[in-house]
Chain A
Amino acid sequence: MSEPLLEVRDLKKHFPVASLLFGKVRGWVKAVDGISFTINAGETLGLVGESGCGKTTTSKLILAAEEPTAGAIEFEGRNIVDLTDRDLMDYRRKVQVVFQDPYSSLSPRMRIGEIIGEPIQTHERVSLGEVRTRVGELLELVGLRPDMARLFPHEFSGGQRQRLAIARALSTNARLIVLDEPVSALDVSIRAHIIGLLEEIQARLGVSYLFIAHDLAAIAHISQQIAVMYLGKLVEVTDSLELCANPLHPYTKALFAASLPSHPDEEMKEIVLSGEVPSALNPPSGCRFHPRCPFVMPRCSKREPDLVEVSPGHKVACYLY
């Protein structure tokens, strides 16, 4: 086992909702409401959840693009909220991101060499020649050719662009890369390439990933640990193979049921959830999932269940256990 690289403790992010006329705060959107998890060096944590669950906000908090309302994010032992300019820049160097849309994540009027080299130039004092060499190495690392550095983004396909985005994320020897739905916009056959590339890079360079997606199968493949998120809270956290073999939380079970069969005769447990995801402005009382839960009990609406370890390494927030 490796040491923890990133530790998140009771992280909260509430956005104020102001009333139109007087700007008085009407309420709070509790996008992230007390989540805790750990990412170890060289490992991947998959964060799975549907729209509105708060995973995007979580990624912004980790990237220091937003400030937490409460809680701690500790990277290499230091809380990033306390970091000042120089250390913050160092943090930004070590934590990079790859976004979902390959068509808007690369600056259209810059050459690839400059795009990939920009983080290097922002963070380090190196000569242009060295930048060029490193860019060439990065391109090879992601399966492209160094001479492509002089091309523009529109000359590449979607899958290739994601590779370029990955190359850029690796340019400063980052230790953690946040991947926000990196393969959702790609064709099926290309996804396999990108996932394979990411796994290979992790094996070679020991970089950690926070892999955010809604596709369970892809997440399960690449992650060592998976955290399931619903309406701002984590409902289940465990090792990925264990999760696939033994999902405990009803929402997790529903997610598995909703993932499509891999062949026509596969027996899928039909758990169809009723209703829609409620708004984060007014979450249900007690367990947030209780209005849609097929196994709801009276105590579920009274108090929120804590995330407890019910078997080694397997945490669930549910009164069934």
Chain B
Amino acid sequence: MVKAVDGISFSLEAGETFGLVGESGCGKTTTCHSIVHLLPPSARIVSGRIELAGEDLVSKSQREMQKVRGRQIATILQDPMASLDPLFSIYNQVAEPAYYHQALRGSKLRHRVKELLAAVRIPSPEARMKEYPHQMSGGMRQRIVGAVAQAGGPKIIIADEPTTNLDVTIQLQYLNLLKDLQRASGVALIFVTHNLGIVAKMCDKVAVMYAGKIVEMQPVRGLFYHPRHPYTRALLDSIPKLGTKEPLYGIPGQPPDLADLPTGCSFHPRCQHASDRCRNQEPCEQSIGNGGTARCWLASEEFARE
């Protein structure tokens, strides 16, 4: 039994952008999959609740979840070629959620698809609708995935590393697009990424995950200017900053094997400040003013950096 996600809690407000940050294997993708009940057969939600507008999602059956996916929660994944079906036209794919969840038909449906494509800034949407995914570039495909996500009129969009495969300038276009979409429709965004730069640009609130737990959660400025967990600090220090050749500090060691976690705090073998307490006792979530939390025995001791 491997605890891929071990006791995480967070809340999301309407129109908010929530960043879920962590490196590979930390559990951020598993968290997203569990929200929409798309876990692989070998995984189960063992305990906890996921409340969407007062309704608990964990107890819903797959059939009930079909009404939630697309209608209330939509996803944008990393690889647009994997999200789009190569055999169906763009029109077909963008129309599908609108057809099922909004019950639009005929000319109303066509109009809605054109609207959605225009909202994601696809030039000449009428012509593009008839085309197929392989005829478009990576950036355009990802925008179409965005249109598909919007088509059902969801309240929440989960974006799992949507720009990792895109060029830098295209990424900027795309992130700006997401922000505009959000402002226009009031949708809440959960942004999963390992890139702190994206977080700095896009997010209102951030949670940092490590070995299946949230080790720090703060409003974005608090995280960047006063990080409280050593892992967060180390992540911030390891990123090269443009224009200086200051030495970079990687985090020693490797992320832990989830099947074989260290005792006490999962981060202690790689932490410069580990104490005996850290080695033996798993830290609980400590609240740190501004509504944030940190899982670290040293968080409460004014460990903020200047």
Taking Cβ atoms with an 8 Å cutoff, the residues of A that contact B are 50-51, 157, 159, 187-193, 195-196, 214-218, 220-221, 241, 244-245, 254-266, 268, 272-273, 276-277
A277 to B169 alpha-carbon distance, docked (Å): 10
Known A-B contacts: A216-B242, A218-B240. Give 7 more (CB < 8 A): A50-B170, A191-B250, A216-B168, A258-B169, A258-B172, A260-B200, A263-B225
Best-buried of A214, A245, A259, A262 by chain B (most CB within 10 Å): A262
A220 pairs with B200, CB closer than 8 A: no
A263 to chain B, nearest CB (A): 4
Contact status B243-A245, CB under 8 Å: yes
> Within 8 Å of chain A (Cβ to Cβ): is B282?
no
Q: What residues of chain B lie closer than 8 Å to A266, measured between beta carbons?
A: 200
Is A263's CB under 8 angstroms from B247's CB?
no
Contact of B235 among A189, A193, A241, A265 (CB under 8 A): A189
B170, B195, B240: the one contacting A260 at CB < 8 Å is B195
Q: Are A188 and B201 in contact (CB under 8 A)?
A: no
Q: Please list 27 pairs of residues, one from A and one from B, whose beta carbons are closer than 8 Å in the complex, sorted by A's number.
A: A50-B167, A157-B254, A187-B255, A188-B196, A188-B235, A191-B238, A192-B238, A195-B248, A196-B248, A217-B240, A220-B240, A220-B245, A221-B245, A254-B169, A255-B169, A257-B172, A258-B169, A258-B171, A261-B201, A262-B200, A263-B224, A264-B221, A272-B169, A272-B173, A273-B173, A276-B139, A277-B137
Residue of A nearest to B198 (CB): A260
Nearest-CB residue, chain B, relative to A159:
B254
Instruction: Flag if B197 contacts A262 (CB, 8 Å).
Output: yes
Number of A-B contacts (CB under 8 A): 112
B8 within 8 A of A: no
Give the residues in chain B near A264, CB-CB below 8 Å.
Answer: 200-201, 220-221, 224
- Residues on B with beta carbons closer than 8 Å to the beta carbon of A260: 195, 197-198, 200-201
- How many angstroms from the CA of A189 to the CA of B239 in the assembled complex? 8
Question: When the two chains form the complex, which single residue of A189, A218, A259 contacts B23, counting CB atoms closer than 8 Å?
Answer: A189
Contacts of A191 in B (CB 8 A): 238, 250
Most chain A CB within a 10 A radius of its CB, from B137, B139, B224, B238: B238
Q: Which residues of B contact A (CB under 8 A)?
A: 23-24, 137-140, 167-173, 176, 194-198, 200-201, 220-221, 224-225, 234-235, 238-243, 245, 247-251, 254-255
A111→B130 CA distance, assembly (Å): 51
* Distance between Cα atoms of A15 and B254 in the complex (Å): 43
Chain A contacts of B224 at CB under 8 A? 263-264
Bound complex: CA of A215 vs CA of B248, how far in Å? 15
Complex CA distance for A252 and B176, rounded to whole angstroms: 19
Q: Are A188 and B238 in contact (CB under 8 A)?
A: yes
Q: Which residues of A have CB within 8 Å of B172?
A: 257-258, 272
Q: Are A259 and B168 in contact (CB under 8 A)?
A: yes
Given A191-B238, A192-B240, A260-B201, A273-B169 contact (CB < 8 Å): yes
Residues of B within 8 A of A193 (CB): 250
Known: A189-B234, A195-B240, A214-B167. A221 touches B248 (CB 8 A): yes
Instruction: State how many angstroms separate the Cβ of B27 from the closest Cβ of chain A.
Output: 14
User: Which A residues touch B249, using CB under 8 A?
Assistant: 192
Report yes or no: A187 in contact with B221, Cβ–Cβ below 8 A: no
Q: Tell me whether B239 and A262 are in contact (CB under 8 A).
A: yes
What residues of B have a CB within 8 angstroms of the CB of A255 in the complex? 168-169
Q: Hey, which chain A residues are within 8 Å of B168, CB to CB?
A: 50, 214-216, 255, 258-259
Whole-angstrom distance between the alpha carbons of A193 and B194 in the complex?
Answer: 16
CA distance A321 to B194 in the complex (A): 39
B23 partner residues in chain A, CB cutoff 8 A: 187-189
Q: Is the CB of A188 within 8 A of B221?
A: no
Q: A188-B239, A192-B248, A217-B240 are in contact. Are A259 and B197 (CB under 8 A)?
A: yes
**Assembly CA distance A255 to B197 (angstroms):** 14
B residues near A220, Cβ cutoff 8 Å: 240, 242-243, 245
**CB closest residue in chain A, given B195:** A260
CA distance A128 to B176 in the complex (A): 58
Closest CB in chain A relative to B35 CB, distance in Å: 24
Considering the chains assembled together, what is the distance between the CA atoms of A120 and B250 in angstroms?
31
Q: How far is it, in angstroms, between the C-alpha of A241 and the C-alpha of B23 when the chains are bound?
A: 30
- Chain B residues, CB < 8 A from A159: 254
In the bound assembly, the distance between CA atoms of A265 and B245 in angstroms comes to: 22
For A196, the closest partner residue in chain B by CB is B248
Rounded to whole angstroms, the CA-CA distance of A222 and B247 in the bound complex is: 10
Given known A187-B24, A272-B173, contact A241–B243 (CB-CB < 8 A):
yes
Determine the chain A residues whose CB is within 8 A of the CB of B234 once the complex forms.
189
Task: Enumerate the 10 nearest inter-chain pairs by beta-carbon distance, A residue then B residue, closest first.
Answer: A260-B197, A193-B250, A192-B250, A244-B243, A192-B248, A50-B167, A192-B238, A258-B172, A189-B251, A187-B23
What are the residues of chain A within 8 A of B221 when measuring CB–CB?
A: 264-265
Q: For the complex, give the distance between the alpha carbons of A272 and B245 in Å.
A: 27
Contact B176 A263, beta carbon cutoff 8 Å = no
Q: Please, how many angstroms separate the alpha-carbon atoms of A92 and B225 in the complex?
A: 48
Q: Is the CB of A189 within 8 A of B169?
A: no
* Shortest distance from the beta carbon of B139 to any chain A beta carbon, whole Å: 6
Q: Which residues of A contact B238 (CB under 8 A)?
A: 188-189, 191-192
B301 to chain A, nearest CB (A): 24
B117 smallest CB distance to A (angstroms): 16
